Structure 1
Amino acid sequence: MNQYAIILAAGKGTRMKSDLPKVLHQVTGKPMVNHVVSATRAINPEKTIVIVGHGATEVLGVLPEYIGYVKQEEQLGTGHAVKIAESLLKDLKGTTLVIAGDTPLIRPESLVDLFEYHQSENATATILTAIAEDPTGYGRIIREEGHVAKIVEQKDANDFEKSVQEINTGTYVFDNQALFDALSNITTDNAQGEYYLTDVIEILKRNDEKIGAFVLDDFEESIGVNDRIALSQAEKIMRHRINRQHMVNGVTLIDPETTYIDSDVEIGYDTIIEPNVVITGKTVIGRDVRITSGSRIEDATLAHHTEIRNSTVEYSVLKEGANVGPYAHLRPSTVLHEDVHVGNFVEVKASSLGVGTKAGHLTYIGNATVGDGVNFGAGTITVNYDGKNKFNTEIEDYAFIGSNSTLIAPLSIGKNAITTAGSVITTDVLQDDVAFGRARQTNKSGRAKNLPSYHED
């Protein structure tokens, strides 16, 4: 039987106190709605429809291309939000998941189990429920002889109903045609003047349809994010899951509580990550990598046996055996080939450094193509910007760049060439040449005695 998914993502999220639509607030580096989209993929829906409203253009901008959408011009309740999807789904046979886009902690496995339960019970509708230690504020699931009798909202509950700990998570599975038939009969006859999706359950119940309730194993999965406090809770829970899975996969996290790894990061086994490390975006890290305390890595690719020591790496690639730091900064579009060493206070931007090249200290390399086995002395600068345009520097294999060399691009330095320490190099240096670009030193005998700073022993 075909399966479909409707994701509710139209709300502004007033309690977030933000110009950003609520479902775009990120948890572990990914918008909440994208976590939900990822989870729904586990049920292989034929169609996934996102209901957008506030900030619709921004929300659609982060969604995968295969996602369909309908815009809810007025936010008139959850029932209304689902109803406007009828043009895309109403006449289809199958089973439809309805889930909120602000529930980023739901696991794919739980949605699979929900569908399996729904089908095994031959239910018309199944409510995903959870057991809350403190159910205050949630709709309660009231059962009779083990079967769902009704959902009672907090404000309408009597003392007994308030004591019930089984709560409605706001996620449902419906027979698709029964869902839209019932939606045509819901009204706004309630305190909020809105169309409630929960009214569908009452309508189906009155029609003697079977209503099931599947209980989550973990209440945390049901958390809906409505404010910054809940956002921080979701972040903490998700990071715990992510870190635990990496450790299960053979990664050593010295202190998981202070290690921040985003959802889409991949890490190979035998990698060791020290405390206070942040790894974000779609970073891919190989095997037997070491990342020391204080490092930040964003959307980078680190091959096997690389090392990052207390450094920042952004949108860069390290080939096998390369090492960086301490206190280095790799900026976007940097490639370090095998066994490259970039050391203390070295910055590299939009450059490629060949196999075995070394820049150990206090150096800036920007817009440069550097060959194999090149050595940069301390204080080297590639001068790549004239205030308006960027220019490239090309340095061929085994060149030796003396300390405090200033290389004025555009510039080419040939194979095995040498620039002497303290040189300003403005013209190309050919293969095997030695380039001097500094003023001749002149010593004035005895002149120091005439200076104010002179101290006679």
Structure 2
Amino acid sequence: MSKVVAVVLAAGEGKRMRSGRPKVLHRVAGRSLVEHVLAAVEAAGITESIVVVGHGGEEVRNELGPGFRYAWQEKQLGTGHALAQARDLAREAETVLVLCGDTPLLRGETLARLVAEHREQGAAATLLVAAVEDPTGYGRVIRDKEGRVQRIVEEGDADAATRAVKEINSGTYCFTASLLWPALEELRPENAQGEYYLTDVIELFCRRGYLVHALLCPDPEEVLGVNDRVQLARAGRILQRRINEELMLKGVTLVDPDNTYIHAGVEIGRDTVVWPFTFLEGKTWIGSGCVIGPQASIRDSRIGDETVISYSVVRESTIGNRCQIGPFAYLRPGTVLDDRVKVGDFVEIKASRVGEGSKVPHLTYLGDATVGKEVNIGAGTITCNYDGLHKWPTVVGDGAFIGSNTNLVAPVEVGERSVIGAGSTITEDVPPGALAIGRARQVNLAGKGLEKLNAKGRVRDEQR
């Protein structure tokens, strides 16, 4: 099999985005535009990609990382000029797949078919084309009377008759490398934009009698590009619909798919139910039989089977099986909940582990804590983990009972099966099995309450 190298053109500024960021780094469905393109290339079975960068190139390279090779287009002189910058890096390729970095809707199977047809036809170039109702903004594919591709005319160079053509060039091509590189050297910027058009290579091939093949994309949505934020939102809706439909076909119930937002790459087990206005982001994995939402926001977290999370925020956390979270809980990065843990309303947990069967029902903050099994944390409990300079740990042993409104001043350890009296401030370790009470003794002063109430009444009478 001949070697295929993908070249992704990502050097443009994207002025219509009206943004300080390179266009290809704007995000939809959890990935940047160019990451969606590169993911489709990988899904097509192509293992080597070159990204041509220019405007904001360092930012693009830093975001994509070292998994790709980068060619630089110092001046943005058109798509043909951009592709030429990748020649040295792609010198060993026999087939070059060229894509635009702002086409996030391309599917891997479409790209694989494009490469396969290019080989089967023995073509010099194979175009991915589409028939659309509104071709505005796209280059038109011009054919001869026998239906053979003759050339591509960019919209800025098209007359009225050409603009009426509804078959468009997607900007995605396969080229035979040995014919492509010499042809790029012959390009001239003789057009309205004064740029080196990659599309002129197609006309050059046709004039020389080389076979130019066109593959009609079965789904015109795939070739839609992104040039402004309206189109960005449109692409996001399409990608979200695809993601949601794929999950539903795998056995996940989305109660209201149009109002459920799930990033590409999120995995969800079957028989899980996701309620509306839920956001599942990043590298999130959710097990089977869960109930998520409504209004849950989960990012970069792992959720076990049969867990319920509602009206809560979860970030970079690991949650076991059959847990119950919310409503209105906040699990911050580093939280680990073992199986059958309950975290109730208005609870915040950060960088802490809560053992199997433990309960943190409401109005609690746990930070830098290790809580054992079958522990009950009473309402209003706080781990005082920060002394103004350093964070300190709190350890609560198995079976302990922490009374309501307790302050655990770290570093401190509460032993197994010990009990903390409600309202205590604990500053020293509590031995296993002990009862710790850290509060002032209650004093009842006979009649003093009545005196105060009477005094307040006299003051009100005088004020009247």
Report how far residue 27 of structure 1 moved: 1.0
Q: Tell me what 2:357 maps to.
A: 356
Whether the 8 Å CA contact 2:368–2:385 is kept in 1: the answer is yes
Whether the 8 Å CA contact 1:128–1:168 is kept in 2: the answer is yes
Partners of 1:26 and 1:285 in 2: how far apart?
A: 23
Could you tell me which amino acid in structure 2 is paired with residue 141 of structure 1?
Answer: V
- Secondary structure at 2:89's aligned position in 1? helix
Partners of 2:412 and 2:191 in 1: how far apart?
A: 75
Residue-by-residue CA offset, 1:5-63 (whole Å, 9 max, x unaligned) = 10001112111111111111001011111111111113333531100111212211222
Whether the 8 Å CA contact 2:157–2:191 is kept in 1: the answer is no
Whether the 8 Å CA contact 1:371–1:395 is kept in 2: the answer is yes
Q: Tell me what 2:451 maps to.
A: 450
Report how far residue 440 of structure 1 moved: 0.7
Report how far residue 293 of structure 1 moved: 0.8
Whether the 8 Å CA contact 2:385–2:392 is kept in 1: the answer is yes
Could you tell me which amino acid in structure 2 is paired with residue 96 of structure 1?
Answer: V
Q: Tell me what 1:366 maps to.
A: 367
- Secondary structure at 1:246's aligned position in 2? helix
Matches within 5 A, 1:39-438: 39-45=40-46, 47-90=48-91, 92-144=92-144, 145-438=146-439
Report how far residue 64 of structure 1 moved: 4.9
Whether the 8 Å CA contact 1:400–1:416 is kept in 2: the answer is yes
Report how far residue 94 of structure 1 moved: 1.4
CA separation of 1:454 and 1:369: change in aligned 2, threshold 3 A: farther
Partners of 1:48 and 1:430 in 2: how far apart?
A: 61
Could you tell me which amino acid in structure 1 is paired with residue 149 of structure 2?
Answer: V
Greater Cα offset, 14-23 or 250-259? 14-23
Partners of 2:140 and 2:16 in 1: how far apart?
A: 23
- Secondary structure at 2:389's aligned position in 1? coil
Whether the 8 Å CA contact 1:448–1:454 is kept in 2: the answer is no
Partners of 1:372 and 1:89 in 2: how far apart?
A: 58
Partners of 1:454 and 1:406 in 2: how far apart?
A: 36
Partners of 1:401 and 1:269 in 2: how far apart?
A: 38
- Secondary structure at 2:88's aligned position in 1? helix
Whether the 8 Å CA contact 1:418–1:435 is kept in 2: the answer is yes
Partners of 1:82 and 1:20 in 2: how far apart?
A: 22
Question: 1:22 aligned to 2:1?
Answer: no
Whether the 8 Å CA contact 2:394–2:410 is kept in 1: the answer is yes
Whether the 8 Å CA contact 2:5–2:93 is kept in 1: the answer is no
Report how far residue 155 of structure 1 moved: 3.2
**How many corresponding residue pairs?**
454
Partners of 1:439 and 1:155 in 2: how far apart?
A: 83
- Normalization by structure 2: what TM-score? 0.96
Partners of 1:255 and 1:433 in 2: how far apart?
A: 51
CA separation of 1:324 and 1:437: change in aligned 2, threshold 3 A: same
Q: Which runs of 5+ in 1 are unaligned?
A: none
Partners of 2:269 and 2:65 in 1: how far apart?
A: 27
Whether the 8 Å CA contact 2:6–2:46 is kept in 1: the answer is yes
Residue-by-residue CA offset, 1:171-223 (whole Å, 9 max, x unaligned) = 11100111101001111222222111011111111211011111111111111
Whether the 8 Å CA contact 1:418–1:433 is kept in 2: the answer is yes
- Normalization by structure 1: what TM-score? 0.97
Could you tell me which amino acid in structure 2 is paired with residue 104 of structure 1?
Answer: P
Could you tell me which amino acid in structure 1 is paired with residue 103 of structure 2?
Answer: T
Partners of 1:378 and 1:93 in 2: how far apart?
A: 65
Residue-by-residue CA offset, 1:265-311 (whole Å, 9 max, x unaligned) = 00000000111111111100000010121111111100111110211
Residue-by-residue CA offset, 1:151-185 (whole Å, 9 max, x unaligned) = 12223333332221100111111001111010011
Report how far residue 117 of structure 1 moved: 1.7
- Secondary structure at 2:311's aligned position in 1? coil
Could you tell me which amino acid in structure 2 is paired with residue 125 of structure 1?
Answer: A
Partners of 1:350 and 1:415 in 2: how far apart?
A: 21
Partners of 1:316 and 1:134 in 2: how far apart?
A: 46
- Secondary structure at 1:365's aligned position in 2? strand
Greater Cα offset, 203-212 or 187-196? 187-196
Could you tell me which amino acid in structure 1 is paired with residue 126 of structure 2?
Answer: T
Whether the 8 Å CA contact 1:2–1:45 is kept in 2: the answer is no
Greater Cα offset, 404-413 or 200-209? 200-209
Partners of 2:399 and 2:283 in 1: how far apart?
A: 34
Greater Cα offset, 38-47 or 287-296? 38-47
Could you tell me which amino acid in structure 2 is paired with residue 99 of structure 1?
Answer: L
Greater Cα offset, 65-74 or 372-381? 65-74
Could you tell me which amino acid in structure 1 is paired with residue 125 of structure 2?
Answer: A
Amino-acid identity (%): 48
Q: Which runs of 5+ in 2 are unaligned?
A: 459-464
Partners of 1:33 and 1:93 in 2: how far apart?
A: 22
Whether the 8 Å CA contact 2:45–2:112 is kept in 1: the answer is no
Report how far residue 383 of structure 1 moved: 0.5
Report how far residue 356 of structure 1 moved: 0.4
Report how far residue 96 of structure 1 moved: 0.7
Partners of 1:396 and 1:137 in 2: how far apart?
A: 66
- Secondary structure at 1:362's aligned position in 2? strand
Report how far residue 120 of structure 1 moved: 2.0
